[in-house]
Amino acid sequence: MGDEHCHLFIDFEFTMPERSGRFKGFYPEIIEAGVVAVANDRIYHQFSSYISPIRFPKLSERCKSFLHISQEQVDQGISFLELVNKLKELSKNQSCTIITWGNMDMRVLRNNCQHAGLSFPLKGKEVDLSMEYKRFFGDQNQTGLWKAVQEYGKEGTGNHHRALDDAMTTYNIYRLVEKDKRYLEKHEPTTIGDRVDFSKLLNKFA
Q: Using CA of residue 135, residue 139, residue 141, residue 146, what is the dihedral sign?
A: negative
Q: In what order do the strands lie in the sheet with 30-39?
A: 42-50, 30-39, 6-14, 96-100, 126-128
7 is catalytic: no
DSSP 19: T
13 is catalytic: yes
Catalytic residue among 7, 13, 29, 32: 13
Within the chain, what is the greatest distance between any pair of CA atoms? Answer: 84
State how far the Cα of 71 lies from the Cα of 60, in Å rounded to an integer.
9
DSSP string, 94-134: SBEEEEESSSHHHHHHHHHHHHHT-----BS-EEEHHHHHH
DSSP string, 125-186: -EEEHHHHHHHHHT-SSPPPHHHHHHHTT---SS-TT-HHHHHHHHHHHHHHHHHHHHHHHH
Give the gyration radius of the chain's Cα atoms: 22
Catalytic residue among 18, 68, 161, 185: 161
CB atoms within 10 A of CB 160: 13
Catalytic residues: 13, 161
